[in-house]
A and B are shown apart, each in its own frame.
Chain A
Amino acid sequence: MATETTVAEHGAEAAKAGIPQLEFAHFPNQIFWLLVALVVIYVVLSRIALPRIGAVLAERRGTITNDLAAAEELKQKARDAEKAYNDALATARSEAAKIVAEAKAEIQKDLDAATAKADAEIAAKTAESEKVIGEIRAGALQSVTEVAGATAQELVSVLGGNADAASIQAAVAARLKG
Chain B
Amino acid sequence: MAGEAHEEGGLVFHPLDQFQIKPLFGDGPIHWYTPTNVTLWLGLCVLVVVALFVFGTRGRAVIPGRIQSMAEMAYGMVYKMVEEIAGHDGVKYFPMIMTLFVFILFANMLGLLPMSFTPTSHIAVTAVLGFGVFIFVTLLGLIKHGTHFLGLFWMSDAPLILRPIIAVIEVISYFVRPVSHSIRLAGNIMAGHAMIKVFAGFAAVTLISPLAIFGIAAVYGLEVLVAFIQAYVFTILTCVYLKDALHPGH
Interface residues of A (CB under 8 A from B): 3-4, 15, 17-23, 25-38, 40-42, 44-46, 48-50, 52-57, 59-60, 63
What separation, in Å, do the CA atoms of A160 and B5 have in the docked complex? 187
The 3 closest A-B pairs by CB, nearest first: A49-B53, A28-B32, A46-B95
| B93-127 near A? 1/0 per residue, CB < 8 Å | 01110110011000000000000000101111100
Chain B, Cβ-Cβ closest to A35: B128
Complex CA–CA separation, A41 to B45 (angstroms): 9
Check A30/B125 contact, CB under 8 A, given A21-B186, A45-B49, A56-B64. yes
Q: Return the chain A residue nearest B44 by Cβ.
A: A37
**A27-B96 Cα distance, complex, nearest whole Å:** 23
- The reply to whether B72 and A30 contact each other, CB–CB distance below 8 Å, is no
Chain A residue nearest in CB terms to B186: A21
- Secondary structure call for the B interface: helix
Which of A3, A33, A54, A55 has the most CB atoms of chain B within a 10 A radius of its CB? A33
- Whether A21 touches B54, Cβ cut-off 8 Å, given contacts A27-B124, A41-B103, is no
- Measured between C-beta atoms, what is the minimum distance from A14 to chain B in Å? 11
- Minimum CB–CB distance for B246 against chain A, Å: 19
B62 at the binding interface (Cβ < 8 Å): yes
Q: Which of B15-23, B146-154, B198-206, B213-221 contacts A (4 or more CB under 8 A)?
A: B15-23
B119 proximity list for chain A (CB < 8 A): 30, 34
Q: In whole angstroms, how far apart are the Cα atoms of A36 and B21 in the complex?
A: 17
Verify if B171 is at the interface (C-beta below 8 Å from A). no
With both beta carbons as reference points, the residue of chain B lying nearest to A20 in the complex is identified as B19
CB pair A53–B49 under 8 Å, yes or no, is no
Report if A53-B71 is in contact (Cβ < 8 Å); known contacts: A3-B3, A37-B103, A59-B62.
Answer: yes
Q: Does B185 contact A (CB under 8 A)?
A: no
Kindly state whether residue B57 has any CB partner on chain A within 8 Å. Answer: yes
In the bound complex, what is the Cα–Cα distance between A21 and B16 (angstroms)? 9
A26-B36, A34-B124, A52-B57 given; 15 more Cβ-contact pairs under 8 Å: A17-B3, A19-B19, A20-B21, A21-B186, A22-B123, A31-B125, A31-B128, A33-B39, A38-B99, A40-B46, A44-B50, A46-B99, A53-B57, A55-B60, A56-B62
Do B21 and A26 touch (CB < 8 A)?
yes
Cβ of B27 under 8 Å from chain A: no
Q: How many pairs, one residue from A and one from B, have CB atoms within 8 Å of each other in the complex?
A: 134
Query: How many Å lie between the Cα of A57 and that of B64 in the bound state?
Result: 10
Distance between A17 CB and nearest chain B CB, rounded to angstroms: 7
Q: Does B75 contact A (CB under 8 A)?
A: yes
- A56 pairs with B57, CB closer than 8 A: yes
B32 and A29 within 8 A (CB): yes
| A40 proximity list for chain B (CB < 8 A) | 46
Contact of B121 among A21, A32, A34 (CB under 8 A): A21
Contact check, B95 vs A45: say whether CB atoms are below 8 A apart.
yes
The 8 Å CB contact of A19, one of B1, B43, B46, B61, is: B1
| Complex Cα–Cα for A63 and B125 (A) | 43
Inside 8 A of B95's CB, which chain A residues have their CB? 42, 45-46, 50
A68 to chain B, nearest CB (A): 14
B122→A41 contact, CB < 8 A: no
Whether B30 is near chain A, meaning CB under 8 Å from some CB there, is yes
| Distance of A13 Cα from B148 Cα, bound (Å) | 49
* Residue numbers in A under 8 Å from B49 (CB-CB): 41, 44-45
Partner of B34, one of A29, A34, A45: A29
Residue of A nearest to B94 (CB): A50
B1–A53 CB distance below 8 A = no
